């Protein structure tokens, strides 16, 4: 977010200098803008993107923070109904989905994600409480690549990432 603000400030400065007819300032701003654009693209394009769907703050926010610490860019899905559209728009490397939702069945959204030709390849790691066996089975039948216990998700995150991204 902070990087985007700097990016937009430089763009605003560039257009302000051009509007005022200051070619030297505009040229300098343009050079800085071009350099910053290259850096911004390099940083955002080299980090893999993870899409995260969660409703409960724990372990959802902890998962987001841990993924950031592991070098991932993270986009959170605003709701179950937006999972497929967010995956089509953002083009993540993998999807994490908390199976607990008060609004809709997450397993149905996973099934739609797996049926969509543009998102069928995405690995899905679903997580839920170990006692919720029905949700675990629904997620497996919907096409989730991994269904894990939410208490084991954070301690073994790197292992789950490796397993989800493993190519047969």
Model confidence band, residue 103 (pLDDT cutoffs 50, 70, 90): confident
**Would you tell me how many other CB atoms lie within 10 Å of the CB of residue 89?**
11
Judged against a pLDDT cut of 60, whether residue 29 lies above it is answered with: no
Q: For the domain 48-164, what is the CATH superfamily, name and number?
A: Response regulator (3.40.50.2300)
**What is the per-residue pLDDT for 96?**
98
Alpha-carbon Rg for the chain in angstroms? 20
Q: How far separated are the first and last CA of the chain, in Å rounded?
A: 36
The tens digit of pLDDT for each residue in 30-80 reads: 566 566 655 555 555 578 999 999 999 989 999 999 999 999 999 999 999
Residue 106 has pLDDT above 60, yes or no: yes
Q: Is the pLDDT of residue 85 over 70?
A: yes
Where do the structural domains in the chain lie, given as residue ranges? 2-45, 48-164
User: When comparing pLDDT for 124 and 12, which is higher?
Assistant: 124
């Amino acid at each position: 977010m902070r990087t985007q603000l700097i990016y937009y400030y430089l763009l605003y400065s560039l257009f302000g200098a051009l509007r005022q007819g200051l070619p030297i300032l505009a040229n300098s701003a343009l050079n800085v803008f071009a350099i910053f654009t290259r850096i911004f693209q390099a940083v955002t394009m080299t980090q893999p993107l993870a899409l995260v769907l969660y409703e409960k703050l724990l372990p959802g926010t902890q998962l987001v923070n841990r993924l950031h610490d592991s070098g991932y860019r993270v986009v959170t899905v605003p709701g179950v109904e937006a999972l497929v559209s967010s995956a089509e728009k953002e083009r993540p490397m993998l999807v994490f989905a908390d199976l607990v939702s008060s609004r809709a069945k997450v397993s149905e959204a996973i099934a739609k994600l797996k049926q969509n030709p543009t998102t069928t390849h995405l690995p899905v790691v679903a997580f839920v409480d170990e006692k919720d066996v029905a949700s675990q089975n629904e997620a497996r039948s919907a096409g989730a690549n991994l269904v894990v216990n939410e208490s084991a998700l954070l301690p073994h995150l790197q292992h789950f990432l490796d397993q989800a991204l493993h190519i047969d």
